[in-house]
Amino acid sequence: MSKIGINGFGRIGRLVLRAALQNGAQVVAVNDPFIALDYMVYMFKYDSTHGVFKGEVKAEDGALDVDGNKIVVYNEMKPENIPWSKAGAEYIVESTGVFTTIEKASAHFTGGAKKVVISAPSADAPMFVCGVNLEKYSKDMTVVSNASCTTNCLAPVAKVLHENFEIVEGLMTTVHAVTATQKTVDGPSAKDWRGGRGAAQNIIPSSTGAAKAVGKVIPELNGKLTGMAFRVPTPDVVCL
């Protein structure tokens, strides 16, 4: 069985662990420099959006114990300092949102990682969406991107439409749930004035790179799609 490490135990990292456990995957290590072990237990157990984790979660001998599976915890700031090989982690989920290029994500190899999957769009790493272009993956690729949440929604739809009717030009709109970058109350946002409005009180027009990213996943649609987003006061689910 492949052994997985997770870098970044925030919103995405915790959900990756839940998904891994539900699908029988083995997570052996987690790294996050900002979250102490006891706080990891609390944050993983109780999720305001997805509910209480049904299994048992505790701190045991300096590790995160989930249903008897001990997960080694590291608190390193730099990827190159994470000793993945000590925990046996070969496949790393890079979910900090910071190390999103091939060069930055490749720092994980210093600690013994063999492959890295970036949980966000990347400027230069090959991007893959399940059901769309996985057949283009080759074993020599060591750093790949799973694109964005919106791209994972848009690309399968665009693929079906293009194969059956042909897309000449397209405009997409995503009604998007609140994200961590938004404000809880009105606050300063010099680069995006609208984005500074309180997330729970407003429907906020915003930009999205999902339409452009589809062109990387489906090359024949490159330059044919554009789009925009509306951030709405909901904690989860997106309407495309």
CATH number at residue 123: 3.40.50.720
Q: List the structure tokens of 151.
A: 């791209």
Asked whether residue 67 falls in the same domain as residue 25, the answer is yes
Classify residue 237: in a domain, yes or no.
Answer: no
Identify the domain boundary among 126, 145, 164: 145
Neighbour tally for 33: CB within 10 Å: 15
Classify residue 238: in a domain, yes or no.
Answer: no
Asked whether residue 36 falls in the same domain as residue 134, the answer is yes
Supply the range of the domain harboring residue 96: 3-145
- Which residue is catalytic, options 130, 149, 153, 239? 149
Give the pLDDT confidence of 9-56 residue by residue, as tens digits.
Answer: 999 999 999 999 999 999 999 999 999 999 999 999 999 999 999 999
Task: Round to whole Å and give the CA distance between 69 and 170.
Answer: 47
Task: Round to whole Å and give the CA distance between 21 and 116.
Answer: 19
Which pLDDT value is given to residue 193? 97
153 carries an active-site annotation: no
Which among 219, 89, 211, 76 is positioned nearest to 151, based on CA atoms?
211
Domain count for the chain: 2
**CB-based contact 233:200 (threshold 8 Å):** yes
Q: Residue 209, class by beta-carbon neighbours within 10 Å (0-12 exposed, 13-18 middle, 19+ buried)?
A: middle
DSSP 84: H
Classify residue 239: in a domain, yes or no.
Answer: no
Answer whether residue 1 shows pLDDT above 90: no
Mean pLDDT of 88-101: 98
pLDDT exceeding 70 applies to what percent of the chain?
A: 100
User: Going by DSSP bridges, is the β-strand pair 91-94/26-31 parallel, antiparallel, or unpaired?
Assistant: unpaired
Asked whether residue 213 falls in the same domain as residue 171, the answer is yes
Classify residue 211: in a domain, yes or no.
Answer: yes
Which pLDDT value is given to residue 156? 97
Answer whether residue 132 shows pLDDT above 90: yes
Asked whether residue 138 falls in the same domain as residue 182, the answer is no
